[in-house]
Structure 1
C-alpha cells in the first residue's frame, strides 16, 4: 500500500490545469493564425487578375498559395 504526504487532488489537479491551459493557448494560437490567413485569402480574392498576375498567383491557386506552408501543396 502506498502513502502520500500530499492530498491526491493537489498532485493531479495542477498537472491537469497546466495541460488544459496549454491546450487552450495552442487552440487560441491556431484560431488567430487561421483568421489571419482567411483575411489574406479575402484580400487576394479582391485583387484584380492583373494584380494577381504581377504577384505570380493564379486566382484558382489563392488558397493553395496562402496555406502552402501548412498543407505542402
Structure 2
C-alpha cells in the first residue's frame, strides 16, 4: 500500500523565477495589446461597399484582409 501526499506549501514571497516569468507574461500582453488590429477592422467596417470594392475587399472578408500578413487562408 502506498501513501501519497499532495500538500504543497508555497512561500509567502514569490520566487525569482515566478517573478521573472510573470514579467515576461505582462510584457507579452502589453505587446499584443499594442498591436491590436481592432481599430483597422472598425475603420474598414465603416466604409461603404463601393469603397471596399475599390480596395478589392468584400465586407465578409474584412478580418481576412486585416490579418492577411499573419494567416495564410
Q: TM-score, normalised by structure 1?
A: 0.68
**In the TM superposition, what are the counterparts of 1:1-73 in structure 2 within 5 Å?**
13-34=15-36, 37-73=37-73
Matches of 1:24 and 1:69 in 2, distance apart? 25
Gaps of 5+ in 1: 1-8
Q: TM-score, normalised by structure 2?
A: 0.68
Gaps of 5+ in 2: 1-10
Residue 71 of structure 1: how far off its partner (Å): 2.7
